[in-house]
Homo-oligomer: A and B are copies of this chain.
């Protein structure tokens, strides 16, 4: 048996700085409170998370039910041939041409982003992001030991990009890349060709990679979203990061891809891929049919999300004092609330408020910002509920803001 002193030594061992400092998920932060509320019999509408509520396409489930291998063997590290071919077809379908050896199948878009960061950055290198940004970029940067430099966007112009010079101010000798999400999570913004051209210009001027997270590609309600692969002049600097999760309602399949015309980037990503051996075999095969023929499935669901967006905008229009814009894509919106502290309001909303025994869970926006003090009055809403539930959710939000003001002033 160890002595007491030795036991204390053993107990005092420290984990790493990055292990201590990595951000917890602001999206899942209040999830435990919501569960407790549900156990009290309260209906909770989840506007906090991008978990699709629509059924997975039958073609995917059929492929799973008819999986006919006798051994679930490792796939090749770059992906099973049918999956790689399917991704190539998918990109071609969207007007982007990648050869099969320019595509690496990844465990969701998440792994694609980690591989891209590791392929272009060493420790303490910097990557430009636009805040508010997809909060898990923080986690990926922590794993990869990369620093994110956040360029602020503003709700006042629907979170569109600032002028080239403004972005340039954040570029240092250590900047290696610009990482952006288009259409954007958490804002639903789609960058115009002219905005993307600013990034392309900066890439050429400063020798930066452009890491374009295009997982919401199809969710474009007014005009198509433009891929970074559509700019031939930075052919070797563009890295497309992609995922089947949202567009095919297969979040739990964890199938994404990294694609680039830069052979060094693909070679490095493949070696990172060799280290982790492979991506799940059944899931790669399951999504391949849809990747080969995406629009039959995605066209109707994009229409569904357009209607949902419109329900949310209608609902916001009826709430006094909120700041909002009309998202051009994805299924998120960042809303400015007439409160001082959106964290406090969000917690109070899920912990204490009900309207007809129902309440709403939202994601406070500060977790999507890197700069302390930014977005303090903002929340992100995900519209992953049917129109009736969204309509009720917005009514609850309106009533909650009235009750909150009556109780706390602002």
Interface check A24, CB cutoff 8 A: yes
Q: Contacts of A66 on B, CB cut-off 8 Å?
A: 65
- Cβ-defined contact, B272 with A234, below 8 A: no
Assess A107 versus B139: contact at CB under 8 Å? Given A51-B74, A282-B283, A283-B283. no
Partner of A73, one of B142, B145, B252, B277: B252
Determine, out of A9-17, A151-159, A305-313, the stretch whose residues face the partner at the interface: A9-17
Q: Mark A275-287, 1 if CB is under 8 A from B, else 0.
A: 1111111110010
Q: How far is the CA of A114 from the CA of B144 in the complex (A)?
A: 11
Q: In the bound complex, how far is the Cα of B286 from the Cα of A87, in angstroms?
A: 26
User: Would you give the 0/1 interface string for A45-77, flagging 1 where the beta carbon is closer than 8 Å to chain B?
Assistant: 000000111111000110011110111111101
Query: Which residue on B lies nearest to A135, using beta carbons?
Result: B275
With A and B bound together, what is the CA distance between A49 and B324 in angstroms? 56
- B139 and A19 form a contact (CB under 8 A): no
B25/A54 in contact, CB under 8 A: no
- On chain B, the residues within 8 Å of A217 by CB distance are none
Shortest distance from the beta carbon of A361 to any chain B beta carbon, whole Å = 16
Say if the beta carbon of A253 comes within 8 Å of chain B: yes
Which of A19, A64, A108 has the largest number of chain B CB atoms within 10 A?
A19
**Chain B residues, Cβ within 8 Å of A100:** none
Cβ A254 vs Cβ B10 within 8 A: no
Query: A370 to chain B: closest CB distance in Å?
Result: 15
Whether A10 contacts B120 by the Cβ 8 Å rule is no
Taking a contact as CB atoms under 8 Å apart, the answer to whether B271 and A24 are in contact is yes
**A274 touches which one: B17, B51, B114, B139 (CB < 8 A)?**
B139
Structural contact, A262 and B119, CB atoms closer than 8 A = no
Whether B15 pairs with A265 at a CB distance below 8 angstroms is yes
Which residues 1-41 of A have a CB within 8 angstroms of B?
1-2, 6-7, 9-11, 13-20, 22-25, 28
CA distance A189 to B144 in the complex (A): 33
Q: Does A111 contact B (CB under 8 A)?
A: yes
Residue in B143, B145, B252 whose beta carbon sits within 8 Å of that of A72 in the complex = B252
- In whole angstroms, how far apart are the Cα atoms of A54 and B70 in the complex? 9
Asked if A121 CB lies within 8 Å of chain B CBs, one says: yes
A383 to B279, CA, bound (A): 24
Residues in B whose Cβ lies below 8 Å from that of A7: 233
- Across the interface, A143 reaches (CB within 8 A) one of B51, B136, B144, B237, namely B144
A28 to chain B, nearest CB (A): 7
Tell whether, in the assembled complex, residue A73 and residue B61 are in contact, meaning their CB atoms are under 8 Å apart.
no
Inter-subunit contact B253/A280 (CB<8 Å): yes
Task: State A6–B51 Cα separation when bound (angstroms).
Answer: 43
Known contacts A56-B72, A108-B277: A268-B16 contact under CB 8 Å: yes
| Inter-chain contacts of A118 with B (CB < 8 A) | 16, 18-19, 142-143
CB within 8 Å for A235 and B10 given contacts A252-B72, A274-B136, A283-B282: yes
21 sampled A-B residue pairs with Cβ under 8 A: A7-B233, A16-B125, A16-B268, A17-B122, A19-B118, A19-B119, A19-B120, A22-B271, A24-B271, A25-B77, A52-B71, A55-B70, A75-B252, A110-B277, A136-B277, A144-B145, A251-B277, A252-B278, A253-B280, A280-B283, A282-B282
